[in-house]
Every structure is written in structure tokens, then in C-alpha cells.
Amino acid sequence: MTKRISSGGRPLRIAYGRVFHEGNSYSPLFTEREHFEDFHYFEGKGLSDFLASGKHELVDVLRNAELRGCLETAKKAGDVECVPLLSALAVPGGPISRECFGWIRERLKSAVRAAGKLDGVYLALHGSMRVAELDAAPEGVLIADVKEILGEDAIVAVSYDLHANLSPAIVDTTTILEGYRTNPHRDLRKTGVRAMTQLIQHLRGEFAPVRAWRKLPVILGGGMTIDFLNPMRPLFMHIKRLCRRSDVVSAHIFMVHPFTDAKDLGWAVHVCTDGDQALADKLADELAEMVWNVREVPLPEFQSPADALRDVRKAKIARKLGHIALVDTSDVVGAGATGGNTHILNTLVKEGSDLMVLLPLHDPEAIEELWPNAEGDDVEVTLRGTKGLASQPEVTLSARIDKRVDGDFGRTLVLRHNELRVAITEKSPGPVHPKFWRQLGLSPWKADAIVQKFFFHYRLFYAASLRKNIPVATMGPSSLERIRDRQFDLPTYPKNSVAEWRSFDKVRRAESRA
Ligand SMILES: [Zn+2]
């Protein structure tokens, strides 16, 4: 096949849409309809109008993502009519409630029914969605819904996040499967381009997707799993080289979102060739073997809050040169946690309030209690963070209200306790960008440390002022302990030491498509 799409061809009608959410099964908060509607939700003409506007496809984060990539490709190809279905996206969080998933399914089905005759469908999906009380991959349910309307032979192209958990229900039901090839993810638009290019070429009879995938008994490994750092760097380079070959269409690693309760959790690889099954199998085996060999590379050591504080103190003399990030690895909002962990706060109030640390905290109950106050008021308050989180310390402190705003994260108050600044928010806080603090009148340049609620992405936005990253471990929805201790029906690394991956692969790929 040619890698680039040609101009013109037989007229095609392709519908496109997105349902995107990463589920954290350990969060006590369900993801509801309003989380999608408040963040990103468009249907039909509303969707195509939005994509035609200059607005960021992903609010604040990325100008263009999968759907603009898809439309751009269709335009370039010529003779392709694109039909907008819907686009629903919410920030990572607890499982989607049954009601909310029912609503998404109904809206998607009604959009597919209204679309009329179609040659194919492209859906940008996550691959690690979770729905309350649903013991199956939600993406598989959506694909099945689409096929129920269009017929079993309908051509469905999908793209997944690199953290997807591949299973027969979301692989074998599709004709084209694409995904991100970067971590942190930077190739969303390109992923849409790749998926749509392959879909159009396939529909025009220019290429026959023949695929192979393998599933590995691994849910954690590969160090930080960053594509440009070892040990993953050589793997991502290998994938790049494969994708440049004229006989290979695509190759991917999928590394799962480990904080889900999916029973069949496990890393996977996927390879697509143009009509060559033996080659697809051979390359998938080789790639699986490479992935298998990096599983035991550990993450950097995480510190306790007290040890981390000691390191911040040591570095204090150089404050004007920037700040330290204390990464609250147990409460990563970017991994679906709530941002309402009080462990680091507890340590700071006890022994670190002389340091200027900026700390965000989800605590809607404290907001409710303190909101009647004005800026400048002195208050006495007990902070409990997100309701429903297990083993959370309660933190009582006297503070001055420095700022009172109703903003992106709902009602927000900045409490000042000595040098410590705590931004308590009504919704889960997203301090991935320094503008979170600037909007509250605080400068990252003046801080000794900032408590981060993201694993990595913030580094891109804080690059100028960020001097050092200290991963801190406490207890919360994104604690690695939860993963390390998890039981599976088949031996899975790191809970079990596993000698080989093929027997796991054989069982998992044969499992029901339900
Ligand atoms: Zn991801």
C-alpha cells in the first residue's frame, strides 16, 4: 500500500465520532453525564461546526486531536463525505455511571441511525474506559451497538489511547485499529490521520488490513514508560522503523491504564500489514518479546512526604531559580484520582508550613463551609479532602482566605497558613498548567515547591520554572501499591513472577467477546 493518501477516488460516506474517558476504579467519585457536558460534548452539526472553528479540540491542552486529523485526511483524499456522530470526552475519573453510559449509548445509536447509508465509521476511543457494574470493555459495547445498526460486516476503524487494554471485543470486531505512538501523548492528530487514511484506502480497495496482536501478563514495568527515555526508547524507535517499511502499515504497544479493575488487564502489541499474515505474526511476536524484556525495569523510587520535604528544604536557598514539583503519585488527577488527598497537606501543616508550597485540594465540603467568608478573613477549618477516600488524615488549621474565585474548577479558595498556600476546589483540581496558580494570584517562581497531580504532562508547561521532580507516595486512587497487590486469575507481573507470556496470550486472546 502507499503510505500517503491519493487525491480523489470513488465517493465515500464515512461517519466519525469520539467517546473518550479513562476510568480509575479506585476513585470514590463516578463520572456522570455533566462531566462530559461540562468538559467536551458535541453532537451532529454542533460537532462539525466546533471542529471547523479555531477552538482547541482539547480544551487548553491540544489544538488538534484525532477528529481534526480525520477530517483533514478526508478533505485531502477528495470524494469523501464525512458525517458527524458525536464527541464526548471527560477528564479521567472514577467509573462512568450506568445512567451516563446508557445516555452515551443511546445518543451514539441515534446518531448512527440518523446518518443513513455509510461505507465506514471511524471512532476515536480510549480503550481503558470503565462503567459501573459492567464486566466488559465499554468500547466493545459501543462497537457492537454500531454494528447492530449497520450490520455485522460494517467497516469500523478505531483508534485507542496508548493505555488501552486490548481484548477480543475491541480488536477482533474492528477492521482498522490505530493508536498513539507517543508517551506522553503528542500524536493525537496524527493518529486520526493514520486511522482515516487506512480506512479510506481500504474502502477504495487499495489495501487489505491483515493484523496480529499479542497480549502480555504485564501491568507495570518499563520504568517511567516515557517514549524518549530508556528502557522504552529503543522500543518506540523499533516501532518507527517498522512503520516506515513499505510492507508494514502500523505497529503499536498498548500499556494499559493500570488503575482499572478490568479482569483481563495486560499490555499488548498490535501489528497491521497489507495482506501478509505471516509477516504480521512474526513482527507481533518480535515486538512482544521486546516489550516482555523491559518489564522488570523499575520506576524511580518514591519518597515519603517527610523525606520529600527534607529535600525541598535542602534546595531552598535557590528558590528564585525555580521550584520543585512534589508529585503526589497516589492522587494523580491525570490518572483519574480526585485531587483530594490530604496526606502531603498533613505533613506540610505539621512540619513544613514555613516553606512556600502551593498545594491544590479537592474539598467541596470545606468550600461549602467557608464560602460565606470574604477575602482577608481569618478562619479555623478542618480539611478532609474528597469524601469516601480511605484512610485520609483530617487536617485542622488556622488560615487566612487570600483569594475567593468561582472559576474553571468551581468555587475555589486560597487558604494561607504561614507560608503554605492551599487552593481548595469544588471540582477536582487540574494544576497541569501554571495558569492554574496565576489565576489565583500566585506565581510558581515564588514557590519552594508545588504539589503536582499529574505524572508527567505538567513538565511541558512548567519547563521554565521547574527545577526538580520528587515523586511522593502516600495512599490514594493512583497508588502503585494497589496494582502491585492485585490478584488476577492468571499470573500477572508484578504481582507474580511469570516465566513466559505465550500461555497468557493464548488464553486472553481466546476469551469471550462479551
Ligand atoms: Zn494514555
Give the model confidence (pLDDT) of 225-252 as tens digits: 999 999 999 999 999 999 999 999 999 9
- Number of residues written out for the chain: 514
In the reported structure, the alpha carbon of residue 195 is separated from the centroid of ligand 1 by a whole-number distance in angstroms of 17
CB of 16 within 8 A of CB of 70?
Answer: yes
Phi, psi torsion values for 491, nearest 5 degrees = -55, 130
Residue 52 alpha carbon to ligand 1 centre in Å: 26
Predicted structure pTM score: 0.94
Flag the least confident range among 305-319, 347-361, 435-449: 305-319
Q: In the predicted model, what is the mean pLDDT of residues 479-502?
A: 92
Q: Which three cell numbers stand for residue 381?
A: 477549618
Q: Measure the CA–CA gap between 256 and 235, rounded to whole angstroms.
A: 16
Per-residue model confidence (pLDDT) at position 31: 98
User: What CA–CA distance (Å, rounded) separates 314 from 301?
Assistant: 19
Distance (angstroms) between ligand 1 centre and the Cα of 163 equals 4
User: Taking 60 as the threshold, does the pLDDT of residue 10 lie above it?
Assistant: yes
The pLDDT value recorded for residue 482 is 84
The string of pLDDT tens digits covering residues 34-52 is 999 999 999 999 999 999 9
| Cα 368 to ligand 1 centre (Å) | 34
What is the Å distance from ligand 1's center to 350 Cα?
Answer: 36
Q: For residue 206, report the distance from its CA to the centre of ligand 1, in Å.
A: 31
- Residue 406 has phi, psi (to 5 degrees) of -110, 100
Q: What integer pLDDT is reported at residue 502 of this predicted model? A: 98
What pLDDT, on a 0 to 100 scale, did the predictor assign at position 316?
A: 64
- Alpha carbon 514 to chain centroid, angstroms: 24
The CA 257 to ligand 1 mean position distance, Å, reads: 7
Which residues fall within 8 angstroms of residue 502, CB to CB, at 6 or more apart? none
Buried b / exposed e over 185-195, threshold 16 CB at 10 Å, is bebbbbbbbbb
Instruction: Give the phi and the psi of residue 394 in degrees, each rounded to 5.
Output: -90, 135
What's the gap in Å between 128 CA and the centre of ligand 1? 9
Residue with cell 502480555: 216
Q: How far apart are the CA of 376 and the centre of ligand 1, in A?
A: 41
Q: How far is the CA of 185 from the centre of ligand 1 (A)?
A: 7
143-196 tens-digit pLDDT: 999 999 999 999 999 999 999 999 999 999 999 999 999 999 999 999 999 999
**Is 394 in contact with 342 (CB distance < 8 Å)?**
yes
- How many angstroms is it from 184 CA to the middle of ligand 1? 7
At 200, the amino acid letter reads: I
Supply the pLDDT for residue 60.
74
- Res 319: pLDDT: 66
Supply the mean pLDDT for the chain. Answer: 95
Rounded (10°) angle between helices 233-244 and 277-292: 170
Cβ atoms 452, 459 nearer than 8 A: no
Taking only the tens place, the pLDDT of each residue in 343-382 is 999 999 999 999 999 999 999 999 999 999 999 999 999 9
Q: How far is the CA of 196 from the centre of ligand 1 (A)?
A: 20
For residues 462-472, average pLDDT: 94
Q: Which three cell numbers stand for residue 355?
A: 516553606
The Å distance, Cα 47 to ligand 1 centre, comes to 23
Centre of ligand 1 to C-alpha 290, Å, is 20
For residue 223, the model assigns a pLDDT of 93
Q: Please check the confidence at residue 512 and state whether its pLDDT lies above 80.
A: no
Q: Using the predicted structure, report yes or no on whether residue 318 has a pLDDT greater than 80.
A: no
pLDDT at 514: 43
Query: What's the gap in Å between 463 CA and the centre of ligand 1?
Result: 21
Distance in Å, CA 254 to ligand 1 centroid: 9
In 126-225, the DSSP E strands lie at: 156-160, 176-179, 209-215
Consecutive H or E run containing 280: helix 277-292
Q: How confident is the model at residue 486 (pLDDT cuts 50, 70, 90)?
A: confident
Residue-level pLDDT at 2: 58
Tell me the CA–centroid distance for residue 160 and ligand 1, in Å: 9
Query: pLDDT, tens digit, for every residue of 414-439?
Result: 999 999 999 999 999 988 999 999 99
Q: Poorest-confidence range of 7-11, 224-228, 336-340?
A: 7-11
The CA 129 to ligand 1 mean position distance, Å, reads: 11
Tell me the pLDDT tens digit for each residue of 110-151. 999 999 999 999 999 999 999 999 999 999 999 999 999 999
Average pLDDT of span 57-79? 94
